[in-house]
A and B are shown apart, each in its own frame.
Chain A
Amino acid sequence: MPQIHTAASTEKEYECGHSDRELKRLATQAQLIDPVTRRFFVDAGLKPGMRLLDVGSGAWGSETAMSPIMPIPPDSSPPLPVSALNPIVEQSGVANVAGLMPETITERMRANVLANRSVVFGRYEAGAWAKVG
């Protein structure tokens, strides 16, 4: 069984926390950007049977965007705390590396690729929000 790496308790805490409100917000955000995520997956050539490492998956909001492409694990309804993901990713072959800090991302990606992931995908906001009036 491949080793799955998720956020460790020793890492810097996520500033927004993991309250119900924040998990719901992450789920809402995932829904808002589902079309964007789906286009990325299509562009990446994701197909059934591939093993995906989702870097920076948040509360694993990618599963809805992924659903037309890959089967959805039965117990993956968001919102889910990161710590609850291990059983799901073991079943689906979808691993996540969430709550990443820059100093740990390289090591975690390398370890997960060695655990036989075939596609590595990362998605982050560009850090620029604009309003044109």
Chain B
Amino acid sequence: MLSTMPSARRSRARFLVGLLLTMHGFFVASLLVANAPLEKTMGIVQKIFYFHVPCAWLLILSTFVCAGGSLAYLFAGSERGDRLALCSAELGVLFGLCVMVTGPLWARAAWGVFWTWDVRLTSSLLLWLMLIGYGLARRYGGAGGRRLAAAMALFAAADVPLVYLSVNLWRGLHPNTRTVSSLAPGMRLPFFFSLAIFSALWGVLLALRMRAEHSQARLVELAIAIEDAEGNSA
């Protein structure tokens, strides 16, 4: 017990440093985004890109991290893997929500409609639904809920390329599938900077959420230990 104290303090310090760096990063990113050149046709509206695309990237990253954690849980019985899967799925739902809010806003301004059945819109929607399903399975799945959710994460990860491929073929090719590599040079730095900063925020939130889950598990263990001790002495 006592030996865990310094490591707890150290990890708190590490977390604070991470948090401060991320906050500072968001400050710099907003300056960079503000100074980035305006897009020719969309103008100021295109700035949502620096917010929207990193969120979409984190939605995908969350799905694969969730599947990785579930793999460790299912096949190696790793509780840590299970916590990682749960926390990244939650973050995936959160960042997916950002994608689902910013996407239609941008679409309305750029294409005149809130939603089209475009490959990336549809794929991210399905991905988001799968992560919500993961959460539902965890919460309401009963005794087998954790393993059910883990299986769901595995299928979701196997599904990602299939969903993308099938929706792509279903709706025909999207005109600009290589948006990022065709970015104007002035937009590249702000974009990759905000991508890095959003990822850092994801990492900080993940660490924080996993810590909370870990503490909760410890608390349950301790409560059971106390109950056992009281039962023995009585």
Our verdict on whether A and B bind, yes or no, reads no
Using a CB–CB cutoff of 8 Å, the interface residues on chain A facing chain B are none
**Chain B residues within 8 Å of A, Cβ to Cβ:** none
